[in-house]
Each structure stands twice: as structure tokens, then as C-alpha cells.
Amino acid sequence: MVEPAPARQIAKDSIPHHDEHSDPVGAKMGMWLFLFTEIVLFGGMFLLYTMYLTRYRNSFIQCSEELSLPSGVANTILLLTSSLTVAMSITALRRNRRRASMLLLAGTLVCAVGFFVIKYFEWAHKFHLGIYPNSPQLIQLGFGTTMYYGLYFVMTGLHALHVLIGVAVLAVMLVMVYRGSINPERYIALENGGLYWHLVDLVWIFLFPLFYLVT
């Protein structure tokens, strides 16, 4: 005669276990809601930029010409490439090609580092010229110029912060793939990390023409 399982064990086994694998739709919906809040944040800044662009177009055009277009183009290429590699990494993992997935994630991180290097030299050059928020030299150039560079530093700085967060997230994903925590059966976390990275790239696609291609 088989003895019944203890009541405590039955209760434990009856508790549903919720994780990204058992509820992938919920995990993705949560990520999309988070991304929506980020879109609202940057969308408000884009509207503010548009308002000042309408009022100080000539100043914005002149300031745009002072930025390094090759640097902006290089950063655009780097981020677009990183978006491709992170998408390919997810596909590789789903096909049980863990090594390829890890290499592609590493390539994404390398592109992100390249982005930071270029942005560092851009900002350093402006600071060397005395152009930074609330600098006496910037204030003397007029309100339109002050607003352009104020928006430039705030919006590109906030974007750079998001890139940094994305780097941290993808680095964790890389370690998890290496350890097998993320695998062909459990990859929702990597997909969500990829979605966040695509948002970072999308924001830059808007920032690039707003600041580098003003006409």
C-alpha cells in the first residue's frame, strides 16, 4: 500500500511556479510596458527640441555644422551593427549555437565601447572649447546656441546612460549564456535584453539627424 504524500509536500507541489519560461507572454508584455515609458520620456524631449528648433532655427543650423558629422555617422554605423549582432545572437542561441551566440553578444559590446570612445572625444573637444552646460563662453553665444547645446548634452547624455545600462544588461546575458542559464529552451531574458538594445539604437536614429543634420 502506497502511503499518501505529506500534506506539506502536496501543498508545495500545488503552488504554480512562475518564471520567464512558464509565462513568456507576461515577461514580454512587462518589457514592452517598460519600453513604452522610455519612449514617452524621449518623445517629450523630442517635442521640446522641435519647439526650440522652430524658434531658433538659424542658431540650431549653425551649431549643427559645428558638430563632427563623421563621428555621428560612425556612431550610427556602430549602433546599427550592434543591433544586427544582438538579433543574430538570439537567433544563434535558438538554433543551439551557444558559442556563436556568445561571440555575437561580445561583438555587440565591442560596438558599444566604440560608441563610447567616439562620444568621449566629441564631448572632450566641446569642453576644451569651453562649450558645456552653463559655461560663461556658451552663455555669451546667445540663447538659441545655449538651448541647442543644452539639449545636445542632456539628450545625448541620457542616451549614453541608456547605452551604459544596455551594456551592463547584455554583459550579464553573456555570462548567463556561458553558464547555461540562458539556453535554447529559456531565452526570454536575452530577447528582452535585445529589445532594450533595439530601443537604444532607435533613439539614436532620431538623435543623429536632430543634432547632426539640421537644415
Domain boundaries, the chain: 33-212
Residue 71 phi/psi, 5-degree rounding, is -65, -45
pLDDT of residue 23: 61
Mean model confidence pLDDT for the chain: 89
Please tell me the CATH superfamily of domain 33-212, with its number. Answer: Cytochrome c oxidase, subunit III, four-helix bundle (1.20.120.80)
Instruction: Tell me the three state secondary structure of residue 186.
Output: strand
Q: Of 82, 46, 17, which is closest to residue 206 (Cα–Cα)?
A: 46
pLDDT of residue 99: 96
pLDDT of residue 24: 65
Is the confidence at residue 111, as pLDDT, over 50? yes
Is the confidence at residue 122, as pLDDT, over 90? yes
- The pLDDT tens digits of the residues spanning 1-53 come to 444 444 444 344 443 444 445 566 777 788 888 889 999 999 999 999 999 99
Query: Quick one: average pLDDT of 172-182?
Result: 95
Q: Which helix (H) or strand (E) holds 56?
A: none
C-alpha dist (Å) from residue 38 to 44, 113, 141, 178: 10, 22, 32, 30
Is the confidence at residue 86, as pLDDT, over 80? yes
